[in-house]
Amino acid sequence: MADGFQEGADNAEPDDSAYRRMMSEELAAQWDDASDMSDRSWSLGQSVVESGFGSITETPCRKCTLAEEMFLCPESRTFWERIPSSVCCRRIWKDFIDTFREDFPEEQALVKKRVMNIFKCLLGVEYQDLGEIAVEDFLRLIRFFGPFRAEEDRCVVVKQIEQLVENSFQKSKDKKSKICWFGGYMTRSEAETKLKDQKPGTFLIRMSVTEGDAGCFALGLVMLDNTIEHFQIKGHPDEAVTMHPFSLELEFKGRHFSSLPDLVNNCLCQEVIASESENPENGVRCSIICPGLPYNQIINGYKCPAR
């Protein structure tokens, strides 16, 4: 299989390793020090203590303290800290969404089931109201899709997800269902399994596992000679968070795009994507959505797929 860029190992990293990749070298060294501590109070989170004022969270764990450097903007950090919790680095979905409604009362996507289901899935929520959100999943989400910041009565990150949901699908050949080109958090080898034996022009867009610290996506595409190539869609989360109005600032072959649908609909599906292999005549346009991707379940109104 030809590769347009090198991502490193195919296998998904453990949560701790993926979380560590989002840090600067200095913070990563501190993370390792925290992980080596024998005192288990520095592990995944702190429990609560009971007092006359009810349940009060103890001092945040070391990893949660280090996470304070990775929220990208004060609005996202403030939002996370406002959510009531008995564990410093985890939140319950019900408390999360109640706080969200308070902070973004005009957010129209709250009543859109498909949008909210993908929102939950991207945050790693596997159950209903009592599903948990880990701080590393929250940090990953804002690196890929933007901050928890209000802009024209909308929440930036949810607006990006809504645009993705509403502009990433088409009717299947039998017209009985919808298929979506978004593959979610997926390794290169998983993408190749999905694309194997598909026709030239078949494609998917996924969240890069090994380049997730930089908010990078990847295009998987079956080329004219039936090889599979992977093209990096570079993210600029630190730059994007300063944009007003917000833009994801996704970079593909030197051009910048405000969102994934902007990139796909106005570039990838319109232009021949030149091969980065030795065959210059191997280019092809993204014309066929890869079948069998996990987010099709949500697009068609079913429950979130297992992560």
Amino acid identity for residue 44 in this structure? L
Q: Which of 55-59, 71-75, 237-241, 300-304 is predicted least confidently?
A: 55-59
* Buried residues in 160-195 as b, exposed as e (16+ CB within 10 A): bbbbbbeebbeeeeeeeebbbbbbbbbbbebbbebb
- Per DSSP, helices labelled H in the chain are 15-21, 25-36, 62-67, 74-82, 93-103, 113-122, 135-145, 156-166, 188-195, 237-240, 260-263, 296-299
User: How confident is the model over 12-25, as a mean pLDDT?
Assistant: 54
156's tokens: 């930036």
Helix (H, G, I), strand (E, B) or coil at 218: strand
**Same-fold call for 47-163 versus 170-299:** no
Q: Give residue-wise pLDDT tens across range 50-101.
A: 333 334 445 777 777 778 888 999 999 999 999 999 888 899 999 999 999 9
CATH no. for 170-299: 3.30.505.10
Residue 13's pLDDT is 47
Q: What are the sequence ranges of the domains in the chain?
A: 47-163, 170-299
**pTM strictly above 0.85:** no
Task: Tell me: pLDDT of 160 over 60.
Answer: yes
Instruction: Give the Cα separation of 200 and 245 in Å (integer).
Output: 37
Considering the chain, what percentage of its residues have pLDDT values greater than 90? 58
Whether domain 47-163 has CATH 1.10.238.10: yes
Measuring CA to CA, which residue among 75, 46, 76 is closest to residue 62? 46
> Which neighbouring-strand residues pair with 134?
90
Residue 53's pLDDT is 35
* Buried residues in 109-126 as b, exposed as e (16+ CB within 10 A): bbebebbbbbbbbbbbbe
Residue 273's pLDDT is 94
More confident residue, 50 or 201: 201
Instruction: Give the Cα separation of 234 and 216 in Å (integer).
Output: 5
pLDDT band for 38, please (50, 70, 90 cuts): very low
